[in-house]
Amino acid sequence: MLELDLGEEQRSLDAINLLESKYPYAASMLAYSLLELFLKLNLLHWRRELPNGRYSLDTSVDQEQRGERLTLRGAKDLNDELFIQRFLAKCTLGVLENVYRIEDDKRYSKDRNDVFHLNRYLASQLGSDRESLDAQNRAHLRTAKKHLVEASELYFPQWTIFELNGQLLFRSQNQTG
């Protein structure tokens, strides 16, 4: 199993926790970045053992140099370095959702795209006040944190994240409740 230093990774969760009160927009961006990173790391580790029914091995990414597409089925036996370069580095969150067969109504990318593409900031130029924008940022952060916790339980349970008193934490494998 891919070993993460959860103490080190907790620092990223701590950053979300610290940013939350003053900078909820930045905390949301970081939460979605971690979600994508952990989905990629999990896929990197388990790619050779993925059951066909639960994961889409026919999900593909573009290969710019060759003008072709590489499927997960074709990439999964590459060494780690080539798998990262040719497949994972080209995976968007939407591609990862296809790999993990996440249902349309449960996908994270729509909410993530609202945060990353600044759409609500553009709309705020049409008259939203600062308080309204702050409320939207806090709502996006709540959603981002919920997505990160949910994804950890469903797709990378070896690194389960939970929320306790508003703070994101890793649950150790021998910890319960």
Q: pLDDT digit string (tens) for 41-92?
A: 999 999 999 877 889 999 999 877 667 899 999 999 999 999 999 999 999 9
pLDDT, residue 63, reads: 76
Q: Which helix (H) or strand (E) covers residue 12, if one does?
A: helix 6-22
pLDDT, residue 176, reads: 46
Name which residue leads in pLDDT, 8 or 31. 31
User: Distance (Å, rounded) from C-alpha 65 to C-alpha 77?
Assistant: 20
| CA-based end-to-end distance of the chain | 23
Sign of the dihedral through C-alpha 115, 136, 108, 119: negative
Residue 174 has pLDDT above 50, yes or no: no
Distances (CA, A) of 98 to 18, 69, 86, 132: 32, 15, 17, 34
Q: pLDDT digit string (tens) for 99-158?
A: 999 999 999 999 999 888 876 666 666 666 777 788 888 999 999 999 999 999 999 888
101-107: Cβ within 8 A, 24+ apart? 101/54, 101/55, 101/56
| Alpha-helical segments (H) within 23-156 | 24-46, 72-75, 80-86, 93-99, 109-116, 119-124, 130-155
Burial class (CB in 10 A: 0-12, 13-18, 19+), 166: exposed
User: Which of 44, 49, 55, 34 lies closest to 88, judged by CA?
Assistant: 44
For tokens 């009160």, name the residue. Answer: 21
Residues with Cβ within 8 Å of 96's Cβ and at least 6 positions away in sequence, in order, are: 36, 39, 40, 43
CB of 166 closer than 8 Å to CB of 157: no
pLDDT, residue 65, reads: 66
Q: Map residue 130 onto helix, strand or coil.
A: helix
